Amino acid sequence: MAQDSGTRTLISHSQLSRGRGKVIYWTLLVVVVAGFTLVFLGPLYWMVTGALKSGQEIAQTPPSLFPKDPQPQNYIDAWNNLALAKLLFNTFYYAIGAVLFQLVFDSAAAYSLSKLRPMFGNAILGLMLATLMIPAMVLIVPQYVTVLDLPILHINLLDSPFAIWLPMVANAFNIFLLKRFFDSIPEELMAAALMDGASSLRTLWSIILPLSRPILGVVSIFAVTAVWKDFLWPKLVMPSPETRTVSVGIYTFAGGTPMNVVIAASVIAAIPTVIIFLIFQRNIMSGLTTGSIKG
Amino acid sequence: MAITTVPETPRKPGRPPSPYSARPQRTSLGRKVRDNLTGHAFLIGAVLCFVVFSWYPMIRGIVMSFQRTRRGETTWVGWDNYSRIIADPSFWTAWQNTFYFTVLALALGYVVPFFVAILLNEFRHAKGYLRILVYLPVMLPPASALFLFKFYAYDPSEAGLFNAILKALHLPTSQWMQSPEMTMPAMVVASTWMNMGGAVLIYLASLQNIPGELYEAAELDGAGIWRRIVHVTIPQTRLILALLAMLQIVATMQLFIEPLILANGAGAEDSATSVAYLIYQHGFFQNDLNGAAALGVIMLVVLAGFSAVYVRLTAKQD
């Protein structure tokens, strides 16, 4: 993405850097920057400041741009009344577990499919990729029934974090991302490790994984955001108040809570993912595009 | 970061043999079996999760749709679940709403990101900032974003953000989610705002792969900006355009959290009921898991139909 300043795009560089082109370019740039800020940051501003307004100020016409009498109390109420600390902790716990389970099982699987290539490996990969075509809503009922009573083991996973962690492992997109990255690691390295008598596990641990840090980072970030954003699945499999995730918790309380408190809670719930995004935006964006473009 | 810089190894043809599978000469049977076992040992964790949470539920969903469980007793009931689901008056409304949403979402959520990407690709300044802005809503938990829309933007009084803007522009205000006509467009706007960032970034990446000479040649031939878009940009990004169209149809067919939060489920005069919401409703409120499974199978069949048309159309072009 760094080389794009040099390549020719729709409109030539020279046309944009002189005369009328230059004027149009700069006006358009200013308009777009202002417009995008308004459209994409505006609502967030509205959300953060709206949650600071009092009940009367919210209902006032026309709405005020700045809260006249800021009420940080709304945020404190949200934190206390909705037990946000507990909800955030739960979500965080599920997210970390999901990252660990995905990293361990998905990178092992991708390693096997990429480098060890056992019999039926391609068929298994095909079956995994086929699940990408099946919308989640189609599977929600049978998946839920399965979680209530796991086949053979007859364990009920309701309210157990495994009900979130294990289904997250069945993520064909991540296995595909990891496999493609492992595919790009030269076979010579593998052969050299083999010569030195390293076992497969050892090769994975000391050669493949250290080289794959960027993609492991991407997969981890995707896992965290997936857990953080998910709604229906945690709502179904984590029904008790003690195990709820933050989105589900806010939704459950939304009915009987003043709306600025609900919004304050929504702001707090959004902070972790926004921070993750601001820190890791480069990784997220490159992971997103490498995963989809050349696939 | 470093991800994009790792060179691509060519796909199947010409790929060097694995040091394991092509181990020299003395590949005894025992060795082969052992290598295979090692390979499968690494696979087993993920495969088990796929079996339990993906492949088996797929089959089980189909089986369940032909059964009925009452008081712990499961019997085969043939097509009963299907006829019951189809006889539900909400069934057709839900499909109508879902298709309407899909079409609106394609018109807005599919076309807009493409042109936004084309625009961003021309800029030589503020690119990183604009990219971050577009993608920021994607990172918000959907529930958070939708409460924002529900309480602040789509407030039907004049205290709502959208109504305040409309009023300032001397345009008629709207009841938003309380008006059956506005429900779907309002949900599409919220959904596009939340989700378009991903599509924009994917388009941007594919626009950057278009060789500059093509634009140069087109310009020499006297093609204006619009004709360059039609004759260079679109054909060059055809594959990704087609792929995202399919992905978006699959995604929009699953419309669920928008009606649940914005419209409290069904919405004014059932204007928000979606097929996915109906699955949820049957399965988890009316205690009719079998009916919900049948509806899931119907959804799968409809999507398979779309995919078949899609494969046909894309195959013809090549």
Q: Amino acid identity, residue B293?
A: A
- Write out chain B residues lying below 8 Å of A181, CB-based: 3, 6
Asked if A10 lies within 8 A of B225 by C-beta distance, the reply is: yes
Q: Which residue, among B96, B130, B124, B66, has the nearest Cα to B278 in the 3D structure?
A: B96
Mean pLDDT of A274-284: 87
Q: Which CATH number fits domain B83-317: 1.10.3720.10, 3.40.630.30, 3.90.10.10, 3.30.1490.20?
A: 1.10.3720.10
Shortest Cα–Cα distance, A60 to chain B (Å): 6
* Neighbouring residues of A133: CB distance < 8 A, sequence distance ≥ 6: B250, B303, B307
Phi and psi at A271, nearest 5°, equal -55, -50
In our burial notation (b when 16+ CB lie closer than 10 A, e otherwise), range B244-272 reads: bbbbbbbbbbbbbbbbbbbbebbbbebbb
Q: Which residue, among B144, B193, B272, B159, has the nearest Cα to A254 in the 3D structure?
A: B144
Query: What confidence category does residue B7 fall into, taking pLDDT thresholds of 50, 70 and 90?
Result: very low
pLDDT at B25 over 70: no
Phi and psi at B59, nearest 5°, equal -70, -40
Query: What confidence category does residue A290 fall into, taking pLDDT thresholds of 50, 70 and 90?
Result: low
Q: CA-based Rg of chain A, rounded to a whole angstrom?
A: 24
Question: DSSP characters for B59-118?
Answer: HHHHHHTTEEEETTEEEE-TTHHHHHHHHSHHHHHHHHHHHHHHHHHIIIIIHHHHHHHH
Across chain B, what does the average pLDDT equal? 84
Q: Which residue in A127, A137, A278 is closest to B55 by CB distance? A: A127
Shortest Cα–Cα distance, B283 to chain A (Å): 7
Query: What confidence category does residue B311 fall into, taking pLDDT thresholds of 50, 70 and 90?
Result: confident
Shortest Cα–Cα distance, B181 to chain A (Å): 24
CATH number for the region A77-293 comes to 1.10.3720.10
Q: In angstroms, rounded to a whole number, what is the distance separating the alpha carbons of residues A11 and B122?
A: 7
- Write out chain A residues lying below 8 Å of B209, CB-based: 293
Per-range mean pLDDT, top range of A139-148, B208-217, B230-239: A139-148
Which comes out higher in pLDDT, residue A59 or B94? B94
Residue pairs between chains A and B whose CB atoms are closer than 8 Å: 351
C-alpha atoms less than 13 angstroms from C-alpha of B175 in its C-beta half-sphere = 8
Q: In angstroms, rounded to a whole number, what is the distance separating the alpha carbons of residues B283 and B289?
A: 4
Query: What confidence category does residue B160 fall into, taking pLDDT thresholds of 50, 70 and 90?
Result: confident
Q: In angstroms, rounded to a whole number, what is the distance separating the alpha carbons of residues A219 and A168?
A: 12
3-state secondary structure of B25: coil
Whether B266 contacts B273, CB under 8 Å:
yes
pLDDT for B4? 41
Q: Which residue matches tokens 């075509």?
A: A133
pLDDT for A255? 82
Phi and psi at B315, nearest 5°, equal -70, -35
Q: In angstroms, rounded to a whole number, what is the distance separating the alpha carbons of residues B225 and B26?
A: 64
In this predicted model, what pLDDT tens digit does every residue of B132-158 receive, in sequence order?
999 999 999 999 999 998 888 888 877
Overall residue count recorded for chain B in this entry? 318
Whether A109 contacts B275, CB under 8 Å:
no
Q: Please tell me what DSSP assigns to residue B18.
A: P
Cα four-point dihedral sign A24, A25, A30, A32 = positive
Mean pLDDT of B281-298: 92
pLDDT at B5 over 50: no
Q: How far apart are the first and last CA of chain A?
A: 18
Q: Amino acid identity, residue A118?
A: P
In this predicted model, what pLDDT tens digit does every residue of A220-229 receive, in sequence order?
988 998 999 9
Would you kindly state where each structural domain of chain A is located, as residue ranges? 7-74, 77-293
pLDDT for A291? 54
Q: Which residue, among B296, B278, B305, B94, has the nearest Cα to A139 in the 3D structure?
A: B296
Q: Which residue in B19, B39, B161 is closest to A46 by CB distance? A: B161
Q: Which residue in A37, A143, A228 is closest to B133 by CB distance? A: A37
Would you kindly state where each structural domain of chain B is located, as residue ranges? 29-64, 83-317
Q: Which residue, among B134, B168, B151, B23, has the nearest Cα to A59 in the 3D structure?
A: B151
Paired tokens of A194: 């083999």
Whether A114 contacts A106, CB under 8 Å:
no
Residue of B nearest to A150 (CA): B52
What's the complex ipTM? 0.87
Q: In angstroms, rounded to a whole number, what is the distance separating the alpha carbons of residues B88 and B277?
A: 14
pLDDT for B156? 80
Residue of A nearest to B165 (CA): A62
pLDDT at B217 over 50: yes
Query: What confidence category does residue B8 fall into, taking pLDDT thresholds of 50, 70 and 90?
Result: very low
Whether A219 contacts A291, CB under 8 Å:
no
